[in-house]
Structure 1
């Protein structure tokens, strides 16, 4: 083991908008290069005032983020992603010290930056340019419409404490930070010690960019044992790590009784199931083997989503083992990631290596058999090109185990968090589902089959035990993001042993950092709170047609009501003939009258919508640039020949675009007949110049 280096720098924390390290000489914790064992840094938070860190986030961070809308925060994430994109090489170089290969860096560094890009886009496309999110339609609570209720989301008033694992120092940080930032909640990052220096380097670039508001991101590099002591119901904790640590944190009084929001993503014994149709020689068999080897060796198997249990038909266990061994022999080169040709690096630390070896030995003692690989130190390629056993490096051979007893407790309860997987045989599909469920809750499972019936039975059988299921076949084998790659658009998490939490999932993860509240009041008051016009609220029928107003002149509640237009049988017949829509309700008096919904021949719904556009449109060039659709169209009262219709439109929702000279306006649109009965309702969507 390389001795402690003299004069090694301490990884700094970034707190209260300044870089911080302990004063004077401190012992600290050594951080070593995973491949060489050389001490490269120390970690210590001795003397750090964590209560002040939390308070800074709650005050300065909340104030700065509170000045921005969802769209403005999303644009800052896009800008930050672009800035970090130009600094990837520096992060790659540093990350090699953790044992990460070039491919591993694409997952961690590029993947983390990709999360920022994704949320920067989704935040602008799927959220209002506001600070309140309306959840669902309003509920009418009084017959006359004077009292209504609905649900809204507003940001929590505290901080988001994000405790991350050692395996993904960049992606793990940014996938938690991005949705919290969109929601408007300040982040306190606590990275794991072995790789926290990489996270600190990324934070350094983020701070240098000067893109984020003050207080919106803080970094604690080192121990934060009393951090939860300073949190309360205003705050949220998002944890990634071992189930044991997650359970300890859940038991903290401020979590158990104090109302701190707590979500965890813990270790899990993820499964991949090979369908009975996916025999050797099929594309599904080949894709399964490729996926299994990838998950065993990417990040040296140090992924919470890695395949730990390959559940295959009993008759092909030997075929799977042979194919996996052949692919490893052909493609996997263990060594220092800085050496040319290396495809699998070291584990993150010697402590991690010892833990993985001990877990494997326990599995062997419990009935597992080593079908591929060795527990001895492997031949590893070094940065200088030399090949040999390196005692100071945390290198390990990929290991594949088999089990005579598919129900052995150890294979379903022990996780070796490294390049280790087990192959177990099943009898039939029900048995495969049962074995997958013995993992007691997992983050992800793969089903490899080209048989739709097999896919249906396996997926519905295991879905409730998993947070994500990948169906792998010949159609998506080349385009699939893979078993072990969470994507920002879909949730990452799982039930039971996997922690019971959810991260990512697009806007769902933003809402995790917000409080859903039921609000009740008059339409005018709910309009004021939400910025969205509610039926029954005041309308402004001014002298100027609302379509003549620019986006900045237009106000919520600006409205227009047309004159009546009469519908004739000649109009209905002409529309039917012109469009080819000769449905009997529009063409056959006797058949239409026999229909319980119609009084006889009635006008087409789309004829009424077309006429409505003619009734409310202001035809001359003006601020309204385009109509780009309708939402929630409903036909309520049929319109017969001789009836008349009029339309009322009201500016319901105004969404300026931050980067364009126009924005979106949704118009509440109501068609009524001569008796003021509602004929149809919908929202007209337009683009309006600023």
Structure 2
């Protein structure tokens, strides 16, 4: 199989976008990106230092406190956001392709999550802020109380590499709608595509300092979290990093939203229609090469139909089309980086040494000699105490776990440090809803899994704090203020 390569140094991004201008980095560190599907050089991105973060945070603070953005109305901000959405959508095809080259996301998926999705989020929050009363008045025992919603302030947005455009916009869109200013710190692995936001900001004349983009590693990220001019952190990433960020924010009494890892369960009930299961496994367990925090990498199967269902899962995984992520027919592309590929392979080796039974995959796909590929892999007879069932792999490695009855399935599903996603597969939706309501998780589907930008998204337990998306996602960027006044304000 031949995999497309279009590497070009024209993709290099050696400047940051700070205070409405392209500026040279204060430091000299860079990150070389390689195309996930080929391993060939893709581009180079400058990496910010704490001093670069300091400049961006100061610009954001000035834009909020002294610039025109701090005095805008909801209607004015919504108009700017719609203009932003139109310009971003015009770049959608190119941005989607770039992300696919960076992290291996199949292009058909990337066109939605990295091409069209971010513009849709901007439009949704533009409409929502126009419909949200930012000041209401109610009677009190001495007169009236005016309840105001005000922007939380300067936002440090830290986005990951797996869905870089959408997950950055999960933070940028509600923050702008609320009237906040933003410092975006994208992951180095997908630093190139992040500057699409900066290109658009420059094109539409977004006021200086409202959106600043500085790609950086953990040291500079830590500087953003602790910066005295930052009021809130919005973070998507690993639970380990989230713990450190949460601890720092707690010490500083700083607001934070943390969307972290998962080890979600797909509960297959004994009345499942196997055609329905096969039709939904791709989105539930293999979406974006399983480099998805919501991946249901534990599939719980009833002993009464165990062999039949395991065979169906194996057949599905065996028939997933693995290949060039730029091919619209590809269903599973490569891992994002060589380092991450080795991590995923490490979990396969760990599972091989356990009592689990390898039924599909475990190696490199035939004919794919370049790039960071691994076969979709399924292990059966996994114990929920095994590392494969406890730790997030973040790759297409699935653990099938047997259970006795519905109560046992609920117990196993909830026996996890995480609680982000899940599904229940059944021929009886009411029965499935009853099981779904018993699972401690932030999102769960019956006979399918999906994302709804109008509904809150986030996790329980070690899967995070707070919610993104929906009205709750906007509320996370607003502060409440109560003003005590006379009864005259009730007129």
Q: Distance in 1 between matches of 2:34 and 2:382?
A: 39
- Show the counterpart of 1:197: 192
Query: Where is the helix percentage greater, Structure 1 or Structure 2?
Result: 2
Give ranges in structure 1 of 5+ residues lacking alignment: 380-387, 473-481, 528-533, 538-690
Match 1:72 to one of 73, 76, 89 = 76
Tell me the SS of whatever aligns to 1:467: coil
- Show the counterpart of 1:559: none
Match 1:377 to one of 345, 348, 364 = 364
- CA 177–23 in structure 1, closer or farther in 2 if over 3 Å, else same: closer
Shift of residue 288 of structure 1?
2.3
2:468 matches 1:493:
no
Listed one character per residue, the Cα deviations across residues 99-138 of structure 1 (whole Å, up to 9, x for unaligned) are: 12222212332222221222223233x224xxx333xx72
Shift of residue 211 of structure 1?
4.9
Q: Distance in 1 between matches of 2:378 and 2:185?
A: 34
Match 2:59 to one of 56, 59, 75 = 56
Match 1:227 to one of 216, 224, 228 = 224
CA contact (8 A) 1:21 1:45 kept: no
- Show the counterpart of 2:87: 83
- Show the counterpart of 1:218: 212
**Structure 1 residues 253-402: aligned runs within 5 Å:** 255-278=249-272, 282=273, 285-330=274-319, 332-339=320-327, 341-374=329-362, 376-379=363-366, 388-390=367-369, 392-402=370-380
- Show the counterpart of 1:37: 39
- Show the counterpart of 1:437: 414
Match 1:121 to one of 118, 123, 127 = 127
- Show the counterpart of 1:467: 442
Listed one character per residue, the Cα deviations across residues 144-177 of structure 1 (whole Å, up to 9, x for unaligned) are: xxx2335332112x31111111101111111211
Rg larger in structure = 1
- Show the counterpart of 1:512: 476
Tell me the SS of whatever aligns to 2:442: strand
Listed one character per residue, the Cα deviations across residues 78-108 of structure 1 (whole Å, up to 9, x for unaligned) are: 2222222222221133123121222221233
Tell me the SS of whatever aligns to 1:325: helix
Shift of residue 370 of structure 1?
1.6
- CA 104–155 in structure 1, closer or farther in 2 if over 3 Å, else same: same
Give ranges in structure 2 of 5+ residues lacking alignment: none
Larger relative contact order (Cα-Cα within 8 Å, sequence gap ≥ 6): 2
TM-score normalized with structure 2 length: 0.90
Shift of residue 323 of structure 1?
1.6
2:405 matches 1:428:
yes
- CA 316–59 in structure 1, closer or farther in 2 if over 3 Å, else same: same
- CA 450–517 in structure 1, closer or farther in 2 if over 3 Å, else same: farther
- Show the counterpart of 2:113: 107
- CA 416–166 in structure 1, closer or farther in 2 if over 3 Å, else same: same
CA contact (8 A) 1:314 1:424 kept: no
- CA 341–238 in structure 1, closer or farther in 2 if over 3 Å, else same: same
- CA 519–363 in structure 1, closer or farther in 2 if over 3 Å, else same: farther
Q: Distance in 1 between matches of 2:265 and 2:368?
A: 32
Give the root-mean-square deviation of aligned CA atoms.
Answer: 2.5
- Show the counterpart of 2:157: 162
**Number of positions where the alignment pairs a residue of Structure 1 with one of Structure 2:** 479
Shift of residue 269 of structure 1?
0.7
Shift of residue 453 of structure 1?
4.6
Match 2:178 to one of 183, 205, 216 = 183
Listed one character per residue, the Cα deviations across residues 191-221 of structure 1 (whole Å, up to 9, x for unaligned) are: 1111121112x22431243153322111011
Shift of residue 46 of structure 1?
4.6
- CA 235–366 in structure 1, closer or farther in 2 if over 3 Å, else same: farther
